[in-house]
Structure 1
Amino acid sequence: MPLPIVAIVGRPNVGKSTLFNRLVGKRLALVDDMPGVTRDRREGDATLLGLEFRIVDTAGFEDEDPDTLPGRMRAQSEAAVGDADVALFLIDARAGVMPLDQSIARWLRQSDTPVIPIANKAEGKAGESGIIDAYSLGLGDPIPFSAEHGEGLVDLFEALRPYLEREDEDGPEEDDEILLEGDEPDGPLKLAIVGRPNAGKSTLINRMLGEDRLITGPEAGITRDSIAVEWMWKDRPVRLIDTAGLRRKAKVEDKLEKLSAADTQRSIDFAEVVVLLLDATRGLEAQDLRIAGQVLEEGRALIIAINKWDVAENPPSLFQGVRGALDEGLAQVKGLPVLTVSAETGRGIDQLIEASFKIRDEWSKRISTGQLNRWFEKAIEANPPPAPGGKRIKLRYLTQARTRPPSFILFGTRVDQLPESYRRYLINGIRRDLGFAGVPVRMTLRAPKNPFGT
C-alpha cells in the first residue's frame, strides 16, 4: 500500500523547508533566510512517532500571474495540495497573519484536501499573538510549532493521525494503537522529586526501587546532578528523576550548587508531574512555597508529599497547617493534592504514584469547545461580568488552545478592563467543574481583530 501524502504549503519564508527537513530527519531541502529558495516540489519519506508518510515541500505561495516563474511555482504548490491526503498550512507566528496568508486560507477552504493550520516559529513569547491570530484563518485550531527546535511534534502527530492511519481490509493494522511517550495512559510517567536539601528525596526513590540506587546519608546536598531512573510500578512505566536540593538563592554561593540548581530547573521543565517533598519534622517553610510557585510557573502538575510521617509530631495538626499554608501561599492553584509518605517504611508510596498518574491525566485533558462553552454560558449567567464606567464587557466564547498545562483563550470586547477577580472566578470554575482540580490553568484574554466584530 502506498504511503499517504502530506503537503506543506504557505507563503515564502515561513519555515516550510525547515519543517520538511525535521520530518524526514535529514537536511534534504535548502534552508535560508532569503525567501523563495524552494521552487520545485521536493518529496521525502517521513516518520513522526510511528506514523509513516510521504512529505512534499512546496514553493512559497505567491499571488502572481500564472505565466511568470512565481505563478508556475504556485501551480506546482496547488497540484501538490490536490494530490495530498492532508495539507499543513504554515504561517509565521512571529510575523502574524499577513494578507497573503488570508488569500491562501481562502483557497484552502475551497479545496477538498483537509488542512491543518500550523503557527510556526512559535517558541517564546514573540509568537503568542500570532498563534491567536491564526484562529482567524477559519481552518480550526492552529498548532503552536517550532520547526527549528522540534517543539509541537506531539500535537502535530495527534492532528495527522486521523488522516494517515489506514486500516487493512481485514481490520486495523497491528500497530494501530501508537503510544506517545508521556502522553498516553501507558506512556512513561515523567516524575521529578524536588525539595529542600535533606528532605529525603533520594531515600524515597531508593524505597520505590527496592534497592540503594542513589547515594543517601545525613549530610544535606549529597545529590548534585539530576538522576533519571526507569522503574515499573504495577506494569506501568515510570521515569523517576531525583534532583539536587534547592536552597534559597541568597544562600547559594558555590558555583557547583548553582549549576545543580540550574540542573534541577531543567528537570522540572522535563517532568510531567513534580512531587515537592516536605520534611515532616520541619513543616512547610517559605522556601517550599517558592519551589512550589516555580513548578506551577513552569506549568507542571504538582503534588505535595510530606515525608518522615512516621516520626511526625501531632500529625493531624501538621497536616491541616500545611494545607492551610498552601491555600494561602499558593492562591493561584486551589486544591493541590497533599499526601503523606515515609521513605523509610514505604508508607504511602502506592497512593503517591496513583495520584501522579491521575493528575497527569487531568493535566493532559482537552475539553471540547462545545462542552466548554455550555459551561461558560452558565458561568456568566450565574455571575455576569461587571460593567466598569457603566459600559458592558461582552464575553463571547472560550476555547482551549492547548494542554499540558491546560490553556484557554477568552474572546470578548473590552476584555482589557475585565477585573482579575473575574478571571480567577472563571479559572476556579474550570478547575472545579471540568476536572482540572489542582492543575495549573492558564487563561489569555483576547479581543477580536475582525474589523466587522463588535
Structure 2
Amino acid sequence: MPFTIAIIGRPNVGKSTLFNRLVGKRTALVDDLPGVTRDRRIGDGQLAHLSFRVIDTAGLEEAFDDSLEARMRQQTEIALQESDVALMMIDARAGVTPLDAHFANWLRRQGRPVILVANKCEGRAAEAGMHEAWALGLGEPVAISAAHGQGLVDLLDALRPLMPEDAGEDDSLVDDDDQVMPEEEGEGDVVDPEVELNRPIRLAIIGRPNVGKSTLMNALLRENRVLTGPEAGITRDAIMVDWSWRGQVIKLVDTAGLRRKARIDKIDDKLEFMSVGDTLETIRLAHVCVLVLDAGAIMDKQDLTIARHVIEEGRALVIAINKWDTVEDHAKALQQLSDKLQTSMPQVRGVPTVTMSALRNQKLDKLMDAVLDIHKVWNRRVRTGPLNRWLPAMLDAHPPQLVRGRRLKIRYITQVKARPPTFALFVSQAEEFPDSYLRYLVNGLRESFKLNGVPIRVVLRQPKNPYADKD
C-alpha cells in the first residue's frame, strides 16, 4: 500500500478543496455550505516529487447514535485507521472552536502522526487563528490556502520526515485511464481479450434516489465502503473505488440519485444540482452503466429518462432490478419491464436485465457476468469484408425508397470505431437519407453481428461530386 494521508476536521474548513489541490483534479464537490462531503473519497496525490494516497473525509460531528452524522463519523474513523498520517485541518479565519479542540484531543489518542493545518491563511484575518492553533497541542500549525495553492511547500516540508524515502517512486499511483489509449490497429481488427483484461472497466452504478445503489456497491466490495441508510439522497459525490472481478480490473463508481428536474429547486437544492452534474459526468466517462431499479416501481418515467441518457452518451447499459425478494408476482413485473423497454426504447434491443437483491447479496455473480458480457459487445469490431457481403443482402430484401424521384445509392460500409460500435455508410444523398431506412440497417447490424444491447451509431458519408465546382 502506498503512503496514505487522511484529511480530517470539522465541517466547512476546506478539506475537499485541499483534496482537489493535492490530486490535481476537481473530483470532490466543493461549496460554502457545510457538510457537502459524506463518504470518504480516495485519490492519488502529489507534492513535488512525493507521491501518496490521500483520503478526503466528512466533517467530524460529535454523534454516536444511528444517525447519518454518526455513520459519517464512522467513515472518518475508518479513513484514519487506513492512513499513515492525519492532516488535522482548521479554519484559521474562524479561529479554534470547541469542536476543533474536542477532535484534536481525540486524534492525539489514536496513535497516528498528526500535522496541524491552518487553512484560509491568505489574509491578515487568519493571524489570530494561527496563534490560537498552538493551544491544540499538535505542534506548529502549517499555514496554507487550499483555494489559492499557498503554503504547500511548508506542507511538503512537514510531510517529508514522515514519508518513506521511496514515496515518489510508487508506480501503482498511475491511473490507466489518464494515459492516452492507442486506437484500434487497422481496419476490422478484433481487440485481444487478454489485452483488454488489463484495461480497467469504468462501471457506474446509477438510478433514482433510494433504490439501493450504495447498498449494491457495498455488496460487491463486501465492505461498508459508502454510506447507506433509509434516508433518500445520502450519496452526493461520485465515489470511485478500484476493484477486480475474476481478474478483470474495474473502476467501480457509486453516484448520487437522479431526480426529475422539476422536483429540484435551484436555490434550496444547490448541492443536488452539483451532485446531478457529477453523476452526468460520471455517465459520460463510464464504459458500462448499471441502472438500478426499485422492484416496487419498475421503469417509471425517470428511469426511462436516465436509460435514454446512457444510450445517447454511447455507453453500455445493464438494468438491475433491486429488492426482487419483495416482489410477489415475478412474471408480471418482468413483463411490465419488457413492455416499457419495447415501447420506449426500441432503438436498443436486448439490454440485459438482472433481478437481484443487494441487501441479501443475491445474484451479484449474474449481474457482473452481464456487465462483462455487454462490455465485450460494446468493444466488438466487425471486419469490412463481412459487412459489405451483408449490405447487398439487406438492399435486396428491402431496396431503399426514392428520394425526389431518384433512387438512393448505398455503396459501401465499414466500422470506423468501437466503444460503441460506429459505422460509416457511404451513400449518394446523405442529407436526405430516410430515418426509417437507417433504422432498418441498424436493426440488421444488431441481428446479424450480435450487437444486441449496445447503442449503434451510423455516420452517413457522401462522396464529393468532382463536377460540383465546374461551370
TM superposition score normalised by structure 2: 0.58
TM-fit CA distance, 1:225: 0.4
Query: Do 2:219 and 2:361's aligned partners in 1 also have CA atoms closer than 8 Å?
Result: yes
Superposed, 1:223-234 pairs within 5 Å as: 223-234=235-246
Match of 1:154 among 178, 181, 188: 181
Give the Cα separation in 2 of the matches to 1:153 and 1:205. 28
TM-fit CA distance, 1:217: 0.3
Match of 2:262 among 240, 244, 250: 250
Match of 2:384 among 364, 369, 378: 369
Query: Do 1:192 and 1:273's aligned partners in 2 also have CA atoms closer than 8 Å?
Result: yes
Give the Cα separation in 1 of the matches to 2:284 and 2:215. 23
User: What SS class does the counterpart of residue 318 from structure 2 fall into?
Assistant: strand
For residues 416-449 of structure 1, the C-alpha deviation after alignment (integer angstroms, 9 at most, x for no partner) is: 3322111000001111111210110011212111
Query: Do 1:323 and 1:338's aligned partners in 2 also have CA atoms closer than 8 Å?
Result: no
Sort the Cα spacing of 1:416 and 1:323 in 2 relative to 1 into closer, same or farther, 3 A. same
1:315 aligns with 2:330: yes
Sort the Cα spacing of 1:178 and 1:232 in 2 relative to 1 into closer, same or farther, 3 A. closer
Give the Cα separation in 2 of the matches to 1:155 and 1:315. 45
For residues 232-279 of structure 1, the C-alpha deviation after alignment (integer angstroms, 9 at most, x for no partner) is: 222322221000000011112211100000000111112100010000
1:341 aligns with 2:329: no
Query: Do 2:197 and 2:249's aligned partners in 1 also have CA atoms closer than 8 Å?
Result: no
Query: Do 2:427 and 2:462's aligned partners in 1 also have CA atoms closer than 8 Å?
Result: yes
1:211 aligns with 2:226: no
Give the Cα separation in 2 of the matches to 1:380 and 1:290. 34
Letter in 2 for 1:315: H
User: What SS class does the counterpart of residue 154 from structure 1 fall into?
Assistant: coil
Query: Do 1:385 and 1:418's aligned partners in 2 also have CA atoms closer than 8 Å?
Result: no
Paired position in structure 2 for 1:445: 460
Query: Do 2:218 and 2:226's aligned partners in 1 also have CA atoms closer than 8 Å?
Result: yes
Paired position in structure 2 for 1:104: none
Match of 1:295 among 298, 307, 310: 310
Superposed, 1:421-440 pairs within 5 Å as: 421-440=436-455
1:386 aligns with 2:397: no
1:264 aligns with 2:279: yes
Paired position in structure 2 for 1:185: 197
TM-fit CA distance, 1:158: 4.1
Structure 1 gaps, min length 5: 1-149, 163-176
Paired position in structure 1 for 2:343: 328
Query: Do 1:393 and 1:415's aligned partners in 2 also have CA atoms closer than 8 Å?
Result: no
TM-fit CA distance, 1:179: 7.1
Sort the Cα spacing of 1:391 and 1:151 in 2 relative to 1 into closer, same or farther, 3 A. farther
Letter in 1 for 2:353: V
Structure 2 gaps, min length 5: 1-176
Give the Cα separation in 2 of the matches to 1:286 and 1:396. 41
Sort the Cα spacing of 1:153 and 1:239 in 2 relative to 1 into closer, same or farther, 3 A. closer
Query: Do 1:193 and 1:275's aligned partners in 2 also have CA atoms closer than 8 Å?
Result: yes
For residues 140-198 of structure 1, the C-alpha deviation after alignment (integer angstroms, 9 at most, x for no partner) is: xxxxxxxxxx9994244746xx9xxxxxxxxxxxxxx9976xxx134222110000000
Give the Cα separation in 1 of the matches to 2:397 and 2:193. 43
Give the Cα separation in 1 of the matches to 2:412 and 2:193. 34
Query: Do 1:179 and 1:187's aligned partners in 2 also have CA atoms closer than 8 Å?
Result: no
For residues 83-103 of structure 1, the C-alpha deviation after alignment (integer angstroms, 9 at most, x for no partner) is: xxxxxxxxxxxxxxxxxxxxx
1:353 aligns with 2:368: yes
TM-fit CA distance, 1:380: 1.0
1:420 aligns with 2:431: no
Letter in 2 for 1:279: D
Match of 2:418 among 397, 403, 410: 403
Paired position in structure 2 for 1:200: 212
TM-fit CA distance, 1:349: 0.9
Query: Do 1:204 and 1:344's aligned partners in 2 also have CA atoms closer than 8 Å?
Result: yes
Sort the Cα spacing of 1:249 and 1:229 in 2 relative to 1 into closer, same or farther, 3 A. same
Sort the Cα spacing of 1:286 and 1:212 in 2 relative to 1 into closer, same or farther, 3 A. same
Give the Cα separation in 2 of the matches to 1:252 and 1:448. 48
Give the Cα separation in 1 of the matches to 2:351 and 2:441. 18
1:235 aligns with 2:262: no
TM-fit CA distance, 1:378: 1.3
TM-fit CA distance, 1:285: 0.6
What do you get for the CA RMSD once the two structures are aligned? 2.4
Query: Do 1:226 and 1:241's aligned partners in 2 also have CA atoms closer than 8 Å?
Result: yes
TM-fit CA distance, 1:414: 2.0
Sort the Cα spacing of 1:334 and 1:152 in 2 relative to 1 into closer, same or farther, 3 A. farther
Query: Do 1:191 and 1:272's aligned partners in 2 also have CA atoms closer than 8 Å?
Result: yes
Sort the Cα spacing of 1:391 and 1:450 in 2 relative to 1 into closer, same or farther, 3 A. closer
Letter in 2 for 1:322: L
Give the Cα separation in 2 of the matches to 1:238 and 1:308. 24
For residues 11-63 of structure 1, the C-alpha deviation after alignment (integer angstroms, 9 at most, x for no partner) is: xxxxxxxxxxxxxxxxxxxxxxxxxxxxxxxxxxxxxxxxxxxxxxxxxxxxx
User: What SS class does the counterpart of residue 225 from structure 2 fall into?
Assistant: coil
Paired position in structure 2 for 1:275: 290
Q: How many percent of aligned residue pairs carry the same amino acid? A: 47
Give the Cα separation in 2 of the matches to 1:374 and 1:421. 22
Sort the Cα spacing of 1:238 and 1:308 in 2 relative to 1 into closer, same or farther, 3 A. same
TM-fit CA distance, 1:327: 1.4
Sort the Cα spacing of 1:151 and 1:207 in 2 relative to 1 into closer, same or farther, 3 A. closer
User: What SS class does the counterpart of residue 302 from structure 1 fall into?
Assistant: strand
For residues 207-241 of structure 1, the C-alpha deviation after alignment (integer angstroms, 9 at most, x for no partner) is: 11111111100010000000011222223222210
TM-fit CA distance, 1:283: 1.7
Paired position in structure 2 for 1:14: none
Give the Cα separation in 1 of the matches to 2:180 and 2:444. 31
Query: Do 1:231 and 1:240's aligned partners in 2 also have CA atoms closer than 8 Å?
Result: yes
Give the Cα separation in 2 of the matches to 1:303 and 1:452. 49
